Amino acid sequence: MSAVLAALGFMALIVLHELGHFAAAKAVGMRVERFALFFPPLLLRKKVGETEYALGAIPLGGYVKISGMNPDEKLPDDVRTRAYYSQPVWKRIVVIAAGPAVNLVLALVLLVVFLWLIGPREATDRVGALEPALPAAGVLEPGDRLLAVDGERGDPIDLSEAIADHTCSQRPPEGGCEAATPAMLTVERDAEPLAVWITPVYDPIEERTRVGFRYAEGPRSPFSFGESLDLALEQFWIVTRETVKLPLYLLDAERRDEISGVVGSYEITRLEISDDLENGVRILAFISLALAIINLFPFLPLDGGHIFWAVVEKIRRKPVSYATMERAGVVGFMLVMVLFLIGFTNDIGRLTGEGFDNIR
C-alpha cells in the first residue's frame, strides 16, 4: 500500500505542475494542442474545442503541448498568432513559471497543513530503531531509556552532542573511523539502570560521530497556525538553499554521494509512509519544493532555461536564434543527465547496499 500511495503522490506533483502550465497558457490565450495525463502510447483521447485531452499508458506524470514551442515550426496563419513564440515575453514567462509556481505553493500549503493539523511527533529519550551496521546494534535494545552519557544527564539533543564529543584521532576524520575513546551510556532497561560502553564511529553525512540509533517517537504535537507558517517558511528556505547548491555537489566527491534521484525520492517517501502515513505529507512537500527549484535552474530543457532565454530576449529587444538556444540546450541537457545518472547510481547503490536510512 505504501508503494501505491508514494507513486500516486509523485504523479500528483507532476500532473499539478503540468496543470499549472496548461491553465496559464489558456489564460493568456495561447493555443494548447494537448493536455495528457501520463505518457504515450495514448489509450484514450477526446478533443474538446481546440485541445485534445488524453490518457497515456505510462503513469509517470503528464505533459502539455502548446503550438509553436519551436520558433521554426510551420503553422497555419490562424494558429501562428496564438503560438508560443508569437506571444510577448511576459506571457511566455507566465506560462513557463506557472508549473514551478504550483509546486512552490503546494509545498508551502502541505508544510503548513502538516505542522498545523498533524504536527511532528515529540522526541522521547527512548531508543527506537537501531542501524544494523553501527556499534549500537546488539548492545542497545529498542525501548531502552537513555539516561546519561559519560555520567552527564540531559535532553536527547544534549546526549547526542555528548556522544559526538568522542571524536576520531585522525584529522580530518574519514568515513567509518572509530572515536579515540568509547562513550559510557547509562540506560534504563526493565526498570534497572545499566551502563554500557560503545565506541562511536564517524558519519561523513552527519559530519559527527554517532553510535547508530534513532530515538523512538512520541505523540504528535501540532503547532498553532502562526507558528506553523513561521516554521514552514523556515524549512522552505532551508530546503531551497540546499537544493540550489545541488550543481556544486558535482565538484565535491564527498557531497556527490548525497545526491539522490527519482528512485531515492520515491523510496524515502515509501519508507516514511510505511512508518507513518502522515509523514508522507511532509516528504511530498519537500519533494514538491525541490522539483520547483530544480525546474527553475536556468538551463534548457528545464523551465528555468526557457525563462532565462525569454529574459535575454527582453534585454536584447530581439529574439534569440533557435540555433543558439539549441546549443545552450545541449549543455543544459548534459548537466541534467549527469545529475540524473549520479542520483540514479547512488540510489541503486543504496537499494543494493546500506539502504536509505542514512538519508532519512
Domain ranges of the chain: 100-120+223-360, 122-220
Q: What is the pLDDT of residue 259?
A: 62
- Measured CA to CA, the distance from residue 6 to residue 274 in angstroms comes to 10
Cell numbers at residue 140, please?
A: 542497545
Half-sphere exposure of 18 (CA within 13 A, CB side): 20
What nine digits make up the cell of 4? 501505491
How far apart, in whole angstroms, are the C-alpha atoms of residue 293 and residue 202?
31
Query: Is 18 a residue of the active site?
Result: yes
The confidence score (pLDDT) of residue 165 equals 94
Q: Render the burial of 137-165: b for 16+ CB within 10 Å, e for the rest.
A: eebbeeebebbbbeeeeeeeeebbebbbe
pLDDT of residue 359: 37
Confidence (pTM): 0.73
192-198/51-66 β-pairing: unpaired
Burial class (CB in 10 A: 0-12, 13-18, 19+), 269: buried
CA separation for the pair 151, 203 (Å, rounded)? 24
C-alpha cell at 213: 540509533
The span from the CA of 112 to the CA of 163, in Å, is 33
Residue 46's CB is within 10 A of a number of other CB atoms, namely 9
> Topology of domain 122-220, per CATH?
Pdz3 Domain (2.30.42)
Closest among 267, 292, 290, 291 to 280, alpha carbons compared: 267
Residue 36 sits at φ, ψ, to 5 deg, of -115, 130
d(CA 245, CA 261): 15
Instruction: Quote the CA–CA distance of 261 and 269 in Å, as a whole number.
Output: 12
Which of 18, 131, 267, 272 does the annotation list as catalytic?
18
> What's residue 172's pLDDT?
76
Q: Which residues, in sequence order, are bridge partners of residue 50?
A: none
Looking at residue 1, what is its pLDDT?
A: 54
Distance of CA 329 to the CA centre of its chain: 24
pLDDT at 116: 94
C-beta separation of 280 from 286 below 8 A: no
Low-confidence ranges of the chain (pLDDT < 70): 1-6, 60, 175, 249-277, 339-340, 342-360
- Give the pLDDT score at 15: 86
